[in-house]
Amino acid sequence: MKKSTIVFGQLFLLGFLLQLSIYVTAQAPVAGKAPGKPVVVDTKAPSDLNVLPFRFINCKVHMEHGANSVHWGVADEATTQVYEVQKSSDGIEFVTIATIIPRRFTTDQYYEYNDGSPYTGANWYRVKAVDQDAIEYYSPIVTLKNIEIMQGVLLFPTVVSKSSSLQLQLKDQPSGCFEVKISNSFGSSVCKYSILHKAGTSSYPIEMSRFSALNPGIYFVSVRNEKGNVQVFRVSVN
């Protein structure tokens, strides 16, 4: 009886030790993982993780060929739906004058819009961006004061050949020095010279053959008086 009791006790102890060994093995930490903590898997798509917030890099405006040229740069426009170019005469109330569809690239992008009908005096501009969630972003406000257009200045014809001439007429103008500048369609100056005008009305020929750099194409002739007032004409050279 005593012997069977000892054997039973040994078997019980052996079973307990076996169960304890199995429990300890199950709880042992796996290499590289914290013990007792569940593994968390990020369910976000890679595209969601890589999208950065939209931002404006810059916004500028300058006069070009009689129009106000608005330039802006952006970063991370992948989710942008539209750009609105807005204009104001007082810097407070803005109206949309153009909409531009973005390229939707993740790299920096640059855009341009030419306002061919600027206000006389100061013009304020800003660009509004709207993303796919209808969130709105605004560029800094930029301003440009247009030079007063000079009246009483005529240039004709508007289509000429390299062997012909233009006629510049200054009508009822005060005496003074008038600067004439011819620029190509890229805005680069081709030639520039001055006319000394006596008060009243006079016509001055502009011989196209004098300018060897004038290849066939579109050119802009600007006439500026001593006050800085200017008039710009578009001319086609065949």
pLDDT in tens, 36-83: 443 333 333 334 445 568 999 999 999 887 789 999 999 999 999 999
Supply the DSSP symbol for 6: H
The pTM (predicted TM-score) of the whole model is: 0.49
Listed in sequence order, the residues at least 6 apart from 204 whose beta carbon sits closer than 8 Å to its beta carbon are 167, 168, 169, 170, 195
Contact status, residue 75 vs residue 108, Cβ threshold 8 Å: yes
Q: Going by DSSP bridges, is the β-strand pair 230-237/159-160 parallel, antiparallel, or unpaired?
A: parallel
Domains in the chain (CATH in brackets) are 47-145 (2.60.40.10), 153-237 (2.60.40.2550)
Average pLDDT over residues 22-46: 42
pLDDT tens, position by position, 84-99: 999 998 888 999 999 9
Give the burial class of 60: count Cβ atoms within 10 A of its Cβ; 0-12 exposed, 13-18 middle, 19 or more buried. Answer: middle
